[in-house]
Amino acid sequence: MASTPAVRRARRSLVFLLVLIVGLAGLITYGVFRSDATWTPKLALDLQGGTQILLAAEQTDGQAVSGEQLQQAVSIIRQRVDAAGVSEAEITTQGSQHISVSIPGKADEATLKRIEASAKLDFRPVLATGMGVDLEKLQQQNEQATAEGDTADPAAAAQDDTAAKDAAAKDAAAGPVDPDPLPTEAGDLAWITPALQQQFDAFSCDSEAALDTRDAAADRPLITCDDAGMEKFILGPVELSGDVITNAVAQMGTTSTGASTGEWVVQITMNRKGADTFGKISTRLFGAAEPQNRFAFVLDGSVLSAPTMNGQILDGRPSISGSFTQESAKALADQLKFGALPMDFTVQSQEDISATLGTNQLQAGLLAGLIGLLLVVVYSIFQYRALGSLTIASLGVAAILTYLLLTFFSWRQGYRLSLAGVAGIIVAVGFTADSFIVYFERIRDALRDGFSIESAVEHGWKRAFRTVLASDGVNFLAAVILFILAVGNVKGFAFTLGLTTLVDVLVVALFTHPMMVLLARTRFYRSGHPASGLDPKRLGAVYRGRAQFREPVVATKGAGKKNARSQKEAERRQTIAERKAAEQGISLESANTGKES
């Protein structure tokens, strides 16, 4: 039989679905062998256990922390943890001065530092720069130690060098010497006195002094280094605090015409006060000599980034560009966005904790899901006979897609599956089954109206897909709202609910309908076999084709209830044309009877 456009579309949909599944499986396989991906979704705190950190909070000025400030700290720490790609974490207050942070699995060092940091974020002008470590001197020392290996003691040389470096560091750590009188501008080079220059020359990023810069005075210059320890700076006094930043996101840069530059940038948004002040700063720095045309984002005394001012920015929306990757741009954006936490934390304890629920509860949840799935299968076979097999196959495809997507998000986005997430998947089984039922019933309605099986499939799909989209749209909107407003495990439930809702639309559109199109061309379904679930006779079809009306079934004596139901169904579904034909038949019969008499 010749291939029709509907059949070709069905085959393309099935091929696209297969490519999607194989592509996801391929990405996960690549991640398992080349990255930290796993074959299964990572489990959340309630199913796996993890790390619990107890923090003692105090304000940076030494005052006691209020309840409102502690709740603000909880909110910011939760944002930091989520930004680090860790989901299903539990952050709660304990008493009036402590915060408990529980993270699924083993927390890495970067996440721990992000949680513990007080994150005092400031803007300072750059007055001078230099190499963080004297590489040439270090290389000469190594060559000398190698050449004099028999006569010299490398350990003693290293000890002497360390002692000299520490002595210089102590002088630098004593604090910069202020000029007399004090400059009025933060970017004034008069801040660099001969004594400050001497301290800067002696300062090294690998010394202990480099670790003691977080408590620097805001109204005095600061000698510090970048995070990598490769560049050191003399920074002027603080010109702007980090609390003016309302948002910071990593995104692809664009030109003035809107075209993409192909480079990652960090886009910052400031409040009105910050926009006004930063506009004045950008006006002063733009066009200045190097390095006075740079300004530094300083987090806890360490330079996060020190970009060059490339223009006047008066709208409070500066962007930082450079040799960013997606990951490094996102890390900087998170530090800028969530950095202004106005208190310090001291780690009181850190310990591994066991799963709060464990595998027994997970097995019970999975068992409940399997029971629900089995009931759906039994109902489908009972109601739709052989057509129920398509329901089972569609649920299987949905399960594969959901599993692959959860595993992928677990690898790339740090998602962790909790018992609440399992509940969201179980609930979605019912929604998915509803989509199949709506579609099958629309096909049956079309068959009752006299369409052929192939036409009924297309007609039923057009009517059913609108209903499926409306239903899934409501479910997805509810999941999105719940995900935005909820925290903790409820957020996990909302995530899996929204994900499985999208999977439902994909499966119905790319598998169920295309398979139904192909099945409708088989002899078993096209002939309306009684076991197919699409037998027009059993469905009470009124007519079988255009202008080919089916005679109503007359319930004769002993015909049984089935014929009676079929007759009522036929009468109920009579069209206007059928009623007129029936009335004309009655009139002709009466006229003929009158002529015979």
Cα–Cα distance measured from residue 322 to residue 308, given in angstroms and rounded to the nearest whole number: 10
**Mean pLDDT confidence for 146-173:** 45
Domain enclosing residue 80, as ranges:
50-116
Distance of CA 588 to the CA centre of its chain: 73
Q: Residue 149 has what pLDDT?
A: 47
- Please indicate, yes or no, if residue 317 is contained in any of the structural domains: yes
Element at 225 (helix H, strand E)? strand 222-225
537 vs 200: which has the higher pLDDT? 200
- In contact, 116 and 213? CB cutoff 8 Å: no
- In contact, 233 and 303? CB cutoff 8 Å: yes
- In contact, 445 and 115? CB cutoff 8 Å: no
Q: Residue 476 has what pLDDT?
A: 92
If asked whether residues 172 and 287 sit together in one domain, one would say yes
Secondary structure (3-state) at 343: strand
- Please indicate, yes or no, if residue 42 is contained in any of the structural domains: no
Least confident of 70-74, 417-421, 450-454, 458-462: 70-74
**Confidence tier at 465 by pLDDT (50, 70, 90):** very high
CATH number of 93's domain: 3.30.70.3400
Among residues 307, 340, 373, the one where a domain terminates is 340
**Mean pLDDT confidence for 297-302:** 80
Q: Residue 51 has what pLDDT?
A: 79
Q: Residue 515 has what pLDDT?
A: 93
**Mean pLDDT confidence for 307-330:** 87
If asked whether residues 285 and 242 sit together in one domain, one would say yes
If asked whether residues 426 and 512 sit together in one domain, one would say yes
- Please indicate, yes or no, if residue 452 is contained in any of the structural domains: yes
**Confidence tier at 163 by pLDDT (50, 70, 90):** very low
Secondary structure (3-state) at 299: strand
Given a cut of 80, whether residue 341 has pLDDT beyond it is no
For residue range 76-87, list pLDDT tens digits in order: 777 667 666 666
Given a cut of 50, whether residue 412 has pLDDT beyond it is yes
- Please indicate, yes or no, if residue 148 is contained in any of the structural domains: no
530 vs 189: which has the higher pLDDT? 189
Given a cut of 90, whether residue 483 has pLDDT beyond it is no
- Please indicate, yes or no, if residue 536 is contained in any of the structural domains: no
**Mean pLDDT confidence for 306-331:** 86
CATH number of 23's domain: 1.20.1640.10
Among residues 526, 555, 577, the one where a domain terminates is 526
**Mean pLDDT confidence for 430-442:** 87
**Confidence tier at 551 by pLDDT (50, 70, 90):** very low
**Mean pLDDT confidence for 526-534:** 81
For residue range 375-402, list pLDDT tens digits in order: 888 888 888 888 888 988 999 999 999 9
Q: Residue 544 has what pLDDT?
A: 45
For residue range 192-225, list pLDDT tens digits in order: 999 999 988 888 887 766 666 666 788 889 998 8
If asked whether residues 319 and 199 sit together in one domain, one would say yes
Given a cut of 90, whether residue 404 has pLDDT beyond it is yes
- Please indicate, yes or no, if residue 322 is contained in any of the structural domains: yes
If asked whether residues 366 and 478 sit together in one domain, one would say yes
If asked whether residues 306 and 434 sit together in one domain, one would say no
If asked whether residues 382 and 518 sit together in one domain, one would say yes
Residue-averaged pLDDT of the chain: 78
Q: Residue 158 has what pLDDT?
A: 41
Least confident of 180-184, 384-388, 401-405, 472-476: 180-184
354 vs 188: which has the higher pLDDT? 188
- Please indicate, yes or no, if residue 531 is contained in any of the structural domains: no
269 vs 65: which has the higher pLDDT? 269
If asked whether residues 413 and 279 sit together in one domain, one would say no
Strand pairing class (50-59; 121-131): unpaired
Cα–Cα distance measured from residue 9 to residue 517, given in angstroms and rounded to the nearest whole number: 9
Given a cut of 90, whether residue 15 has pLDDT beyond it is yes
Distance of CA 8 to the CA centre of its chain: 35
If asked whether residues 218 and 334 sit together in one domain, one would say yes
Name which of 204, 180, 213, 208 is nearest 194 in CA terms.
180
**Confidence tier at 114 by pLDDT (50, 70, 90):** low
**Mean pLDDT confidence for 162-169:** 47
To the nearest whole percent, how much of the chain has pLDDT over 90?
A: 20
- Please indicate, yes or no, if residue 391 is contained in any of the structural domains: yes
Given a cut of 60, whether residue 156 has pLDDT beyond it is no
If asked whether residues 109 and 128 sit together in one domain, one would say no
If asked whether residues 307 and 407 sit together in one domain, one would say no
- In contact, 299 and 226? CB cutoff 8 Å: no
To the nearest whole percent, how much of the chain has pLDDT over 70?
A: 73
Count up the domains in the chain and report the number.
4
Q: Residue 168 has what pLDDT?
A: 47
**The two three-digit tokens of residue 191, written as one number:** 């801040």
Question: Which range, 445-449, 492-496, 503-507, is most confident?
Answer: 503-507
**Mean pLDDT confidence for 260-275:** 89
**Confidence tier at 172 by pLDDT (50, 70, 90):** very low
If asked whether residues 550 and 519 sit together in one domain, one would say no
